[in-house]
Structure 1
Amino acid sequence: MTHDLADDRAAVRAFFGERAARWDARFPNDGPAYSAAVNEIGLRSGDAVLDAGCGTGRALPALRAAVGPDGTVLGADLTPAMLDEVVRAGRDKAAALLLADVSRLPLRDACLDAVFGAGLISHLPGPESGLRELARVVRPQGRLALFHPVGRAALAARQGRQITSDDIRAEPRLRALLTATGWRLESYVDQDDRYLALAVRSPE
């Protein structure tokens, strides 16, 4: 099992590493959607938030604006080339960056108020372990936002495939997965121009 997960992590790193330098150019108009999603998390001034699988850091400035100068913003990604793009775009000024596997974060228990994950859930090597680890680092009643700038049907069409009920992002499957890993799904939106699932960390 460990070997399989290691292979999965290597595949994720290779996939995004090869695409990092042109990622923002491929999706140049997603910024407002990221900002709108961040606004729905309910962050407050002084909060601590993690962008899990931050990629090129498109959410980091909005997260910084939401928590203010006294808040903490972390951006974690498995792919060094993606973090290089965060720096190149100047978004590292909004956050501290971590080269880290979301399933094994170098953070203490219950140290965060919220986690933002854009396109994260379908790339987690072992989604159960990843979501459980995110639950570990978020305080009880803290929040998780799973976001994508297009919905499941639009994404499937973009990738030339059919939408399926066993998709990990489908509401019934996601709800069960979240419940099993310490979260409670609070709201779920799957539209052509946005996917946003908001969950709350279950009490201990």
Structure 2
Amino acid sequence: MSDDHTRVRDFFSARAADWDSRFPDDGPAYRAAASELGLEPGGRVLDAGCGTGRALPALREAVGPSGIVIGADLTPAMLEAATRAGRGRVGHLLLADVTRLPVRDAALDAVFGAGLVSHLPDPAVNLNELRRVVRPGGILALFHPIGRAALAARQGRQLTQDDLRAEANLRPLLAGAGWRLTSYVDEDSRFLALAVREE
């Protein structure tokens, strides 16, 4: 396992047990973001870096009982918390590295990533891996239940020009990995960037 992976796993392992209780009011933001993916009944969606699986119920709602919902995460403690919260009943929980997914090419209609992009060890390469598993015309949603400025304030830091989630940085990063940014919202109440997989 790389140093980046170990650092991410250690960071989230230490926070898994009380993750949901630290952010109890995020449910509506997850539901709203999932509804913007345009998923249809029977659809196939991956929550990449799913953590405790907070998006899984909303994604299941979107694809219905005949759809496929997968939650993949690198941190066993997060998946254990997801299981304790009953989220394994609405999606398949998978211990996996989102930089090397055990998913066949073009198998999915969409990938949802909450707080994901800032934890990717090599975003340009890793976004291409997410592209690989999504069909042409499929969707990538990069989400956070609060915007960049609100998150920076919560963490006691300033926004910088090199923030990967800034539109000026994210648009070319996505384009280089075969995604076309179609929607970008960064407000205090949420961050949501939607991109379409190019052919």
TM range (shorter): over 0.9
- Structure 1 runs not aligned, ≥5 long: none
> Displacement, 1:47?
0.5
* 1:200 alignment partner AA: V
- How high is the sequence identity, in percent, across the aligned residues? 70
> Displacement, 1:163?
0.6
Q: Does 1:193 align with 2:189?
A: yes
Q: Does 1:176 align with 2:172?
A: yes
Q: Does 1:83 align with 2:79?
A: yes
Tell me the residue number matched to 1:61: 57
Normalised by the size of structure 2, how large is the TM-score? Answer: 0.99
Q: Distance in 2 between matches of 1:88 and 1:165?
A: 39
- Structure 2 runs not aligned, ≥5 long: none
Tell me the residue number matched to 1:71: 67
Normalised by the size of structure 1, how large is the TM-score? Answer: 0.96
**Cα RMSD, aligned residues only:** 0.7
Tell me the residue number matched to 1:144: 140
* 1:197 alignment partner AA: A
Q: Distance in 1 between matches of 2:21 and 2:63?
A: 28
| The one of 116, 128, 132 aligned to 1:132 | 128
Q: Does 1:22 align with 2:18?
A: yes
Deviation string for 1:73-109 (max 9, x for gaps)?
0000000000000100001101111111100000100
Structure with more of its chain in helix, by fraction: 1
Q: How does 1:84-163 map to 2 (within 5 A)?
A: 84-163=80-159
Q: Distance in 1 between matches of 2:22 and 2:126?
A: 27
Matched length: 199
> Displacement, 1:164?
1.1
* 1:154 alignment partner AA: A
Q: Distance in 1 between matches of 2:116 and 2:198?
A: 20
Q: Distance in 1 between matches of 2:158 and 2:87?
A: 35
Q: Distance in 2 between matches of 1:149 and 1:155?
A: 9
> Displacement, 1:165?
1.6
Aligned structure 1 segments of 4 or more residues deviating by more than 3 angstroms: none
Q: Distance in 2 between matches of 1:96 and 1:25?
A: 23
Deviation string for 1:143-189 (max 9, x for gaps)?
00000000000000011111112100000100000000010000000
